Amino acid sequence: MYGIVNKAIEELVTETFGEEKWNAVKLKSGVDIDFFISTEPYDDDITYKLAIAVSQEMSLPLSDVLIAFGEWWILKTGKEKYGYLMESGGNNFKEFITNLPLFHNRVMMIYPKLTPPEFKVTDIQDASLHLHYFSKRVGLQEFVRGLIQGLGKFYGCEVEINLLASRDENADHEVFEIKWK
């Protein structure tokens, strides 16, 4: 994944727990890279190693780390570094999620070598929908949950998320039922 992702993990840890904790996480991860360059692609393995090391160092379940990172990605990385992109995604929560299938097309103008996730939206009602998540990568479904929670906070609405299907249970992709008010 692009360095921006690893950098965001670094910022989350440094700003929440301090620089010493980040140094401990890096040591534990075995990742021997001093500085991540946002616009350079790195092996996915590096991102996974960092996330696992955060969970070990903080004694937190990996799922909690991924959820926290998803929220951070929206509320810090997205809002503060790519505010114009976030705003172009929609005027409210429902619009943003409904437009999500096209979102990474715009991201690809900044990061052309992106391997983006794929989203589909079905069962659209006034205050709920189904979000389908397809990815070449495994283990990121709780990251998606954190992203959706972050979007709820971004738009100031209460969000409820239920996982209806998962590759962990032999489906071929994840399906989230999302309700908001």
- Which residues here bind ligand HEM, judged by CB under 6 A? 1-2, 4-5, 41, 78, 82, 85-86, 100, 103-104, 107, 111, 114-115, 117, 135-137, 140, 143-144, 147-148, 151
Closest distance between ligand HEM and the C-beta of residue 44, in Å?
8
Closest distance between ligand HEM and the C-beta of residue 18, in Å?
26
Closest distance between ligand HEM and the C-beta of residue 68, in Å?
15
Nearest to ligand HEM of 2, 22 (CB atom): 2
- CA-based angle 84:85:90, to the nearest 5? 100
Nearest to ligand HEM of 17, 175 (CB atom): 175
Please compute, for residue 40, the number of CA atoms within 13 A of its CA located in the half-sphere on the CB side.
8
Burial 91-118 (b: 16+ CB within 10 A, else e): eebbebbbebeebeeeeeeebeeeeebe
| Structure-block tokens of residue 102 | 């096209």
